[in-house]
Chains A and B, each alone.
Chain A
Amino acid sequence: MSLLKKIDEISGSYKARNAWLTFAIVLFIAIIVIPAIFVVTKLFTEWDLVSGVLNDPASMEVIEGAVWNSFSIAAIVTVIDILVGLPMAWIMVRRDFKGKKWLDTLLDMPLAFPTAVLGISVVMFWGAPEGITIPGLGLDLSPYVMLLFLHIIFTYPYMVRSLSGILEQIDVNYETAAMTLGASKWTAVRTITIPLFRAGLATGFILCFARSLSETGGTYIALTMMGVESTFFTGPSFISWLKSDPTMVDSGDYMGAMILISVVMIVLALILLVVVKWIIARFRIPWKKVWPEIGRSVSRGPLPKVKDVITVVFLIIVVLLPSFYIFAYLTEPIPDIDYGTLLSSTGVSFLVAGVAVLVDLILGIPLSLYIARHKGGKLAGILDGLVNVPLIIPTTALGFSLALFWASFGAGDSMAIVLVILGHISFTYPLVVRNLVGAIEEVNPECEEIAMTLGAKPFRAFRTILMPIIKSSVVAGCILAFTRSLGETGATIAISDSVSTVPIYITNLVQDHMYTEAAMCSIVLIAICFVLMMVVRMLTHRRQGRDA
């Protein structure tokens, strides 16, 4: 308590607050932003290696193919997400029905699954991979189509969440007003509500696109199970594949190829972010032309019902069933699991995720406060943009870049665990800060101002007034970041071979075709995640009850 009091006192000083903010900004740039894009400098210092790859047509073909696959899959997945996400957002926001809470929870489930697990589950469900005894649908899908199905699963919740968030803020009266003026439901939605969506579409688009672009674990596992990991690549899976082949690692080609694909993915992703923002700021969804007859016919009769049914069926068949299919392994006899390794890798996973989230919070709070309370300011705008950078960089490229950055300071394998944590901080930081900024913006600054006129020092006002108000958003952000870290494969692999988190352990099992063991470990991991989420929820609930 006395420490808190001391901080309260110190926070009264303008200089101390500024110093703290500066410290947080400097750390943010030094350990998150710069390492994430450091690899770009290698393009110049290691040009020989890179040009070696550039002059090798065979390697270039593979790299071009991988980049094309990554971006085209991300684009297709995002478009599908928008198409099926819009009606789902309507169902979640504008409808009231029994079981809505259930649906709400189910929607988020895929986010709690490590993507490596999803990779196994999806291939099991749609295909019939060799070595798996559980019958699936047995479709002979191409790797490309299989990856589309997989990527839809873990991007869909992001899209529905961002679209619902915006729809909630669009006054339902706009639509009603349009309808009392004679517009059919369809026309009203098309000419009024959808055009008001722009910001939400941008957020959803960037989140989904970036998530699909950077996903490694699930993609690599799916490709491995289909036996095409050395012939079919996405950008991140190419990096994983390079890493997994010890004969490659020592050759100069390896370094060149790694640098090249990382830089290409990072630069394209950054360009895309800017372009998407630019387009969405200028693009207006056209509303001037109307077709009253068409609008009428699709607003009446069975069509709206059919649309809702398709939306729900899509959710169940494409998103939920393939995610949960791995639980079918529970019907099999339990194999011998190497519990020692499983437990130790679980320990490592939790350590990494826990420390990362903690650092996210400590560094993220002053920055979030600054961004949220200086909306429209120049520095706040720049910081706001920078926070998004690690979010859209493929995590594999990010991990590779970060490892190079710290290696240049002489950080070797003994520091591996620290580097992995730093890597996980990078890509979870935006999730925590986004949530914090959103929550703080919602709170009237007068609440804190009143506390301070009543004599509270700034830090005390923060922890006794603002913090309790935004607590649920903070917890949500932390859970999101924690599970995201727990499920991450790509960055961990790219940073170090010696740190074995659970997803890495599962990936290794799959590579050795020990599917039953991999599935059981996955189920254990999911169970741990759920228990953890429940405990956190219960704790926050109980505390709220006591405070009230």
Chain B
Amino acid sequence: MTILGPSGCGKTTLIKVISGIWTPTEGKVYVDGRDVTNIPMEDRDVGYVFQNIALFPHMNLRDNVEYSPRVKDQGDERMAELSEEYLKLVGMFQRAGMLPSELSGGEQQKVAIARALASGSKMLMLDEPLSALDARVRVELRYELRRIVKKLGITVLHVTHDQEEAMSVSDRIVLMRYGAIAESGAPLDIYRRPKSVFAANFIGETNLFECTVSDWSKSGKTRVTMRGGREIRVSRTDFRPGDAVVVSVRPEHVRPDEDGIEAKVRSVSFRGVYWRVRTMAESSDYIEYDVPADGEVPEVGDTVRLSFDRNASVVFPRPEGGIEEEIRLE
């Protein structure tokens, strides 16, 4: 499970409280239905992996991994067994005698994970474990991490502010904001059917239009009017005519269409697999859409006509503070 949210939303606080590093000022922590609020962190058996890795610099890799069995006095044999098992699991057994400073960041983090696992805990907290690493290593380690976790069948709470990372590693995403859970669900559900403008904007990329509902039929068919007066069809909703709404459409669902909304191209940028085209519609809303790398790319200043798949759009009630306030990250 991933805990996702902008910086300062309380993600790290949450897992520090769960693991016992911090004591909550109020409320209780339950693990498996058991109240663990008053159990100190050293007895709580919740593994924790730090963003800055924090391998003990004066110990080699083996001693780092053996630290937990050592302080729990589990005996030399058990220590050797555990360090071999977990160092092999993360593919670092060959280098067990090295010092942490001789390793790259990604390798260090793997050992840190092995160290946390060797404590035998069935719960692992990962505090932005990949964000201190280089971009490419970060992506590779994602899959490695998921493989290890699935193999051991343990529960992992993975904190990150990177929505792409959240979607690719987890079974479930919990989106946090202002110290509370905003919404949660499987990555695909939360991407396709976000429950708030904030979620739509934070997870993935999207175009947001401020509209007013102009027509609604019993079957849920809804039409809305954009700023500037153009009427468009959106997905089925329960809104009534006159309701102020926000319509969210992902760039990949926008396509050129002869009868679509007229918009002027403002910028075109190459993203590898596709071109991202940013346009401004007559309603002065920005609309972004993608053109395949080998497709026909408009030039800045061109006028294009765009429409979108109405079933892929999501309609929200218009937030009171306005869109800007709603999608603000800090």
- Which B2-61 residues have a C-beta within 8 angstroms of A? 19-21, 40-48, 50, 52, 54, 56-59
Query: A320 to chain B: which residues have CB within 8 Å?
Result: none
Task: Return chain A residues, CB-CB under 8 Å to B289.
Answer: none
A173 touches B116 (CB 8 A): no
In this assembly, does B71 line the interface, its C-beta being within 8 Å of a C-beta of chain A? yes
Residues on A with beta carbons closer than 8 Å to the beta carbon of B68: 181-183
- Would A290 and B73 be within 8 Å (CB), given that A177-B50, A178-B67, A179-B41 are in contact? yes
Residues in chain B near residue A181, CB distance under 8 A: 42, 47, 67-68, 71, 115-116, 119
Interface residue B72 (Cβ < 8 Å from any Cβ of A): yes
Which residues of B have CB within 8 Å of A177?
Answer: 48, 50, 54, 56, 115
* B57 & A176 in contact (Cβ 8 Å cutoff): no
Give the Cβ gap from B85 to chain A, nearest Cβ, in Å.
16
A446 within 8 A of partner (CB) = no
Give CA–CA (A280, B38) in the complex, Å.
Answer: 41
Report the minimum CB–CB distance from B269 to chain A (whole Å): 30
Cβ-neighbour of B46 out of A180, A183, A287, A295 (below 8 A): A180
Partner of B72, one of A173, A180, A288, A292: A292
Decide if A173 touches B73 in the complex (CB within 8 Å): no
How many residues on chain A are close to B (CB under 8 Å)? 25
Stretch at the interface among A87-95, A188-196, A236-244, A540-548: A188-196
Q: Which residues of A contact B119 (CB under 8 A)?
A: 180-182
In the complex, how many angstroms separate the beta carbon of A98 from the nearest chain B beta carbon?
18
On whether A187 and B71 interact (CB within 8 A), knowing A171-B54, A182-B119, A196-B57, the answer reads yes
User: Which residues on the B side are within 8 Å of A188 (C-beta)?
Assistant: 42
Query: With A181-B115, A182-B68, A292-B73 as given contacts, are A196 and B58 in contact (CB-CB < 8 Å)?
Result: yes
Q: By the criterion CB–CB under 8 Å, are B52 and A180 in contact?
A: no
**How many residues of B are in contact with the other chain, CB < 8 A?**
29
Is A290 within 8 A of B58, CB to CB? no
In the complex, per-residue mask of B218-249: 1 if CB is within 8 Å of any chain A CB, else 0: 00000000000000000000000000000000
* Nearest residue, chain A, Cβ from B72: A182
> Is B192's beta carbon under 8 Å from chain A?
no
In the assembled complex, the Cα of A274 lies from the Cα of B217 at a distance in Å of 90
B19's closest neighbor in chain A, by CB? A180
Instruction: Say if the beta carbon of B253 comes within 8 Å of chain A.
Output: no
Q: Are B54 and A174 in contact (CB under 8 A)?
A: yes
Judge whether B70 is part of the interface by a CB distance below 8 angstroms: yes
CA–CA, A465 and B71, complex, Å: 49
Interface centre among A180, A192, A284 (most CB of B within 10 A): A180
CB distance from A300 to the nearest CB of B (A): 8
Q: Which residue from B42, B50, B58 sits with its C-beta under 8 Å from A183?
A: B42
Please state if B71 and A290 are interface contacts (CB–CB under 8 Å): yes
Which A residues are in CB contact (< 8 Å) with B45? 182
Partner of B71 from the list A171, A176, A292 (CB cut-off 8 Å) is: A292
Q: Is there an interface contact between A290 and B41, defined as CB atoms closer than 8 Å?
A: no
Q: Is the CB of B57 within 8 A of A180?
A: no
Contacting pair A173 B54 (CB below 8 A):
yes
Neighbouring B residues of A295 by C-beta, 8 Å = 71
Q: Which residues of B contact A178 (CB under 8 A)?
A: 56, 67, 71
A185 to B40, CA, bound (A): 10
Please, which residues of chain A bring their CB within 8 A of the CB of B52?
A: 171, 173
Q: At the interface, yes or no: A489 with Cβ under 8 Å from chain B? A: no
Assess whether A195 is in contact with B41, with CB atoms less than 8 Å apart.
no
Q: Is A184 an interface residue (CB 8 A)?
A: yes
Q: Is the CB of A180 within 8 A of B47?
A: yes
Contact partners of B19 in chain A: CB under 8 A: 180
- Chain B: which residue is nearest A176 at the CB level? B21
Query: Are B67 and A183 in contact (CB-based, < 8 A)?
Result: yes
Roughly how many angstroms separate A185 CA and B42 CA in the complex, as a whole number?
8
Q: Which B residues are in CB contact (< 8 Å) with A171? A: 52, 54
Identify the closest chain A residue to B54 (Cβ).
A173
Point out the residues of chain A lying under 8 angstroms from B50, CB to CB: 173, 176-177
| B182: min CB distance to chain A, Å | 28
Contact A180 B116, beta carbon cutoff 8 Å: yes
Q: In the complex, what residues of A have CB within 8 A of residue B47's CB?
A: 180-181
**Which of A178, A182, A183: most chain B CB closer than 10 A?**
A182
Q: Which residues of B contact A176 (CB under 8 A)?
A: 21, 41, 48, 50, 54
A180 touches B67 (CB 8 A): no
Interface string of A278-296 (1 = CB under 8 A from B): 0000001001101010010
CA distance A173 to B73 in the complex (A): 22
With A180-B19, A180-B42, A184-B42 in contact, do A191 and B71 touch (Cβ < 8 Å)?
A: yes
From residue A179, how far is it (CB to closest CB) to chain B in Å?
A: 5
**Who on chain B is nearest to A193 by CB?**
B56
- Give CA–CA (A179, B44) in the complex, Å: 10
Whether B48 lies near A192 (C-beta < 8 A) is: no
In the assembled complex, the Cα of A295 lies from the Cα of B43 at a distance in Å of: 13
B 56-100 contacts with A by CB, 8 A? 56-59, 63, 67-68, 70-73
- Chain B residues whose C-beta falls within 8 Å of the C-beta of A183 in the assembled complex: 42, 67-68, 71
Residues of A within 8 A of B116 (CB): 180-181
Q: How many angstroms from the CA of A83 to the CA of B78 in the assembled complex? A: 35
Q: State how many angstroms separate the Cβ of B92 from the closest Cβ of chain A.
A: 17
- From B40, B43, B67, name the one whose CB has the most chain A CB atoms within 10 angstroms: B67
Q: Which residues of B are found within 8 Å of A290, using beta-carbon distances? A: 70-71, 73
**A180-B41, A180-B42 are contacts. A192–B71 as well, Cβ < 8 Å?**
no
| In-complex Cβ contact of A174 among B41, B42, B56, B73 (8 A) | B56
Closest to A178 in B: B67
Give B324 Cβ to nearest chain A Cβ, in Å.
31
A196 to B119, CA, bound (A): 23
Q: Which of B48, B59, B63, B70 sits near A180, CB closer than 8 Å?
A: B48
- Select from chain A the residue with minimum beta-carbon distance to B71: A183
Across the interface, name the chain B residue whose C-beta is closest to A181: B68
A-B contact pairs, 5 of them (CB 8 A): A173-B54, A180-B119, A181-B68, A184-B42, A284-B58
Task: Please list the 10 inter-chain residue pairs (A to B) with the smallest Cβ-Cβ separation, ordered nearest first.
Answer: A181-B68, A183-B71, A173-B54, A180-B48, A177-B54, A179-B42, A173-B50, A182-B72, A292-B73, A181-B119
- B residues within 8 Å of A by Cβ? 19-21, 40-48, 50, 52, 54, 56-59, 63, 67-68, 70-73, 115-116, 119
Known: A178-B71, A181-B115, A181-B116. 10 other contacts (CB 8 A): A171-B54, A176-B48, A180-B21, A180-B41, A182-B45, A183-B68, A196-B58, A287-B58, A287-B59, A288-B70
